[in-house]
Structure 1
Amino acid sequence: MSRNKDHQKKISVVIPCYNEEENVIPISQAVIDEFASALPDYDYEILFIDNCSTDTTREKLRVLCKGNPKIKAILNAKNFGQFNSPYYGILQSTGDATICLCADFQDPVDMIPVFVKNWEDGHDIVCGIKTQSEENKFIRILRTIYYKMIKKMSNVEQIEHFTGFGLYDKSFVNTLRNLKDPTPFLRGIVAELGPKRKDVPYTQAKRKAGKTHNNWYSLYDAAMLSFTSYTKVGLRIATIGGFIIAMLSFIVGLVYLILKLCNWNNFSAGMTPVLLGVFFFGSLQLFFIGLVGEYIMSMNIRIMNRPLVVEEERLNFPAPEKSAEN
């Protein structure tokens, strides 16, 4: 069922950026050209959210906002990470639907009309699924293994090769606003709460310019946020594994004691078994403590309930209404 066409709909395009001085102007022009050629009947806004860039990205955003009132920008006071900033940008959008895409052109701009078409057909969420990618093949293999593992271990549906690139109806954006999650993992939230979803395949291109800011730490951070938010298996492994190892330790200790008491063939194994056991079980305990610590750290961040980001400045947003004085 198509949506009501009685008024001109507005599409918000949210573009998170960090040190993207070579890309912000080309990506904004590409989005504008796409609306002009493929979606002339739609109004639009482009909302950049800058995660405290240290290059000339902010200067370029000021120029863009000065030249086009439909381009807005939020400048964060600090870098609030790869999850909070895009999520916060989506919450600040004002369109009938919101599209989130990267500034580096890895998310193809020509998918925008495809997303809008599926949205008009009645889908509240349209997810871009990377069926092919020009990224490092080894990294893609690791991602595929990770998605398969999380999908098997989670009680909640997980969307493979979905990075957040997609369209979200304003009703779902309102749902996101009401969650008040200080550590949002958008991919998991979409899978868990998203209604009327349509998955659309696309090929991820190489970064057009600049250098990627993803590294092993950021990939690990993403993996652990998903793991601790949507699986219980880590805690179950620690519990069951700890019980099994405790039983094995008790049995080994009992056998060792019996052999010593019976003086079986002048049994003497020295300190080697003890040292091996201490090192093995000690390292295993550290692993489980670290695993449990990841869950506790995730809980702690949520309990503190800090803001998603702290804004330094807004560009091209309407001035807030002043409350009437008594």
Structure 2
Amino acid sequence: MTPEFDGIEVAAGGARWVNGQLPLITIVVPVFNEEDNVDRTYAELKRVTAELPDYRFEFLFTDNRSTDHTFEKLSRIASEDADVRVVRFSRNFGFQRSVLAGYRLARGVAAIQIDADLQDPPAMFGPFLEKWKEGFDVVVGVRRQRQESAVLKQGRQLYYRLLRRLDGPHLIVDAGDFRLIDRAVIERLRLINEPHMYLRGLISSLARRQTGIPYNRSRRDFNESKFPLRALTRLAADGIIAHSSFPLKVSFYVGIVIALASTLLAFFYLALRAWMPDAVPPGFTTTQILLLLGIGLNSTFLGILGVYVGRIYDQVRTRPMVVISDLLNFDQDIGSV
């Protein structure tokens, strides 16, 4: 679907008024089982955007097939407010695809993604838009402080710095999904079909000019986080595998090290056999060690290769990113994105 720009001519780093209309900004809100947050999130978004009279706003909720009353509440809100558009998927396609679908369906000259739990403050919309007007096509929120354990916080810091070293300096350390992206970046995203993506790194790689704004992240007041440790680990793995061949390089160097270690071990047992032939049963220890090393090495490297081959398989199938089952306040039907 070609996005509608409502008579706004897009320019680098901003928009020009055409026919007296203000620039349209899309607020993308991915949701999954957020029935306790939907009403308060909508009310807060309306309050904050009402304080930005130089722009028009639409609110695009992407529902990842919630199993509670989230969609019913969104349906009621959309029936009362034509600026609220709702997309419901046929099943849960995951957070990354949900956000990407929101960007692709955005009609604005820029889009801001924010989570439904309001841990990221909507009050940052104003500073984001100011940076956008200065010519930045990607503006990200940099988490200066967040409510979580010291172990998890330290782990995040180490991971972001590792990923920056692997992928390049375009990645902003401690930046999350709370960001503004320009229409030009959205159009580039529409051309990409990666089933296993790390959206944060992908958007940073597509930016011509990006900047970060520090902020303090609040704690989550309602419902549980949709990113427990297992999901965070999976997201971290996606970030490394999607943007780097580092695991393959690691497997190569580890293979070299183990091959050298096996060679040294072979020389050691040859010397032991020559000088102390009765110290160990003939051939037993050497056979066992080499067998275990070979099995472990092959299993590890085949697993790493399997991950990459599996992703190549998913890529060549070119299936749609998401399949849509319900649309609210859309002008036309969209089966998939």
Q: TM-score, normalised by structure 2?
A: 0.88
- Counterpart residue identity of residue 265, structure 1: M
Aligned length, in residue pairs: 318
Deviation at 1:258, TM superposition (A): 5.6
Residue 154 (structure 1) aligned with residue 160 (structure 2): no
Aligned to 2:35: 21
5+ residue gaps, structure 2: 1-12
Please state whether the residue corresponding to 1:183 is helix, strand or coil: coil
Residue 137 (structure 1) aligned with residue 155 (structure 2): no
State the alpha-carbon separation in 2 of the partners of residues 68 and 294 from structure 1.
45
Distance 1:280 1:295, change over 3 A: same
Deviation at 1:98, TM superposition (A): 0.4
Please state whether the residue corresponding to 1:130 is helix, strand or coil: strand
Residue of 6, 16, 26 corresponding to 1:4: 16
State the alpha-carbon separation in 2 of the partners of residues 252 and 35 from structure 1.
69
After TM superposition, the structure 1 = structure 2 runs for residues 1-326 of structure 1, keeping only pairs within 5 Å, are 3-6=15-18, 7-37=21-51, 39-155=52-168, 157-257=170-270, 259-260=272-273, 262=274, 264-270=275-281, 271-319=284-332
Residues 20 and 210, structure 1, Cα contact 8 Å, conserved in 2: yes
Post-superposition Cα deviations, 1:57-105, rounded to whole Å, max 9, x if no partner, equal 0100100100100000000110001211111111100001100000001
Residues 224 and 294, structure 1, Cα contact 8 Å, conserved in 2: no
Residues 172 and 212, structure 2, Cα contact 8 Å, conserved in 1: no
Please state whether the residue corresponding to 1:210 is helix, strand or coil: coil
Post-superposition Cα deviations, 1:284-326, rounded to whole Å, max 9, x if no partner, equal 43233322322223222222222111101100011359xxxxx
Please state whether the residue corresponding to 1:48 is helix, strand or coil: strand
Please state whether the residue corresponding to 1:228 is helix, strand or coil: helix
State the alpha-carbon separation in 2 of the partners of residues 9 and 192 from structure 1.
25
Residues 51 and 75, structure 1, Cα contact 8 Å, conserved in 2: yes
Deviation at 1:250, TM superposition (A): 3.0
Please state whether the residue corresponding to 1:209 is helix, strand or coil: coil
Please state whether the residue corresponding to 2:117 is helix, strand or coil: coil
State the alpha-carbon separation in 2 of the partners of residues 315 and 141 from structure 1.
42
Residues 238 and 288, structure 1, Cα contact 8 Å, conserved in 2: yes
Please state whether the residue corresponding to 2:16 is helix, strand or coil: coil
Distance 1:98 1:272, change over 3 A: same
Distance 1:62 1:148, change over 3 A: same
5+ residue gaps, structure 1: 322-326
- Counterpart residue identity of residue 39, structure 2: I
